[in-house]
Amino acid sequence: MRIRALFIDMDGTLLKSSNKISRRNAEAITKLMNHGVKVFLATGRQYEITAPYHSHLDLKTPMICLNGASIYDGFTGRIAHMNPVILDEEQFYRVTNENSCNVMVHTADGLYCNRKSREVEEWTEESRIVPKYIGDLQNADYRDVLKYSVRTGNHGSQLSYMFCSGVEVIDWQDGFEIVAEGVSKWAGIQELIAKFGIHPDETAAIGDGPNDMQMLKNAGISAAMANAGEEIKAAADVVTGHHEKDGLADFIERYLLKEPAAPRVL
């Protein structure tokens, strides 16, 4: 079956460690769009640090952000769909304070943090938008939380098991994330392809992290980056090159650019 849509993770996939898109990756994406394939970004990033790359690639498709907790219109940048997460915040802040965690609260209105960090500084530099609040988050006035990011310095499973009821938890090597129950990149993909009249078998997906697992398992064809962990590689159909060596372009050129060019459809 012909592939009609490609969903691309950003960090560790589209982007090099320098947060740059290589010329080869950009050119491969353009060629794919010229073949009539729709290209989407599907990322754990918030909108503000996704949109500049979306614009750079001249994409007009909706953006799946915050692991699928929010979807943004590709033309206006307005939020088209969001799925806020609700948890026991009293327990959450008790546990994260006792364990001296870096906590970032991603809301529909912006970012709230309990302290400054290199990660937050990098996000601010990329988006040119400062966090809404930095300090004791129990005193912050926020609503519509889309994702909690917790940096512990250890594998997320050491602490995330305390928050597994009624939410989705994603464990990373240095912490964990919490989104609403049922939220995932794949759930966001399903919503979008239904609107575009695309069958799941007509999708391709590529990524490197635990938040990519569902889309790699369910897409028509999927690729894990060489820099991905073994569990992520096992979830994909193929393993492509490293994100520092244009593994995304390798996947597009080898598996998706197989048909004569067709008029680009937006």
Which residues lie across from 80 on neighbouring strands? none
Name which of 1-5, 31-35, 213-217, 234-238 the model is least confident about: 1-5
What are the backbone angles phi and psi of residue 260, rounded to the nearest 5°?
Answer: -60, 145
Pair 68, 185: CB distance under 8 Å: yes
- Residue 249's pLDDT band, with cuts at 50, 70 and 90, is very high
Residue 223's pLDDT is 98
Pick the CATH number of 5-82+184-256 from 3.40.630.30, 3.40.50.1000, 3.40.50.970, 3.40.640.10: 3.40.50.1000
pLDDT tens column, 70-108: 999 999 999 999 999 999 999 999 999 999 999 999 999
- The candidate with the shortest Cα–Cα distance to 21, out of 31, 11, 34, is 11
**H or E stretch at 238:** strand 238-239
Question: Under CATH, which number does the domain 89-180 receive?
Answer: 3.30.1240.10
Q: What does the mean pLDDT of the chain come to?
A: 95
Give yes or no for residue 182 having a pLDDT over 60: yes
- Residue 164's pLDDT band, with cuts at 50, 70 and 90, is confident
The pair of structure tokens assigned to 212 is: 């990519």
pTM metric for this prediction = 0.94
Domain boundaries, the chain: 5-82+184-256, 89-180
For residue 159, CA distances in Å to 154, 165, 177 come to: 9, 13, 11
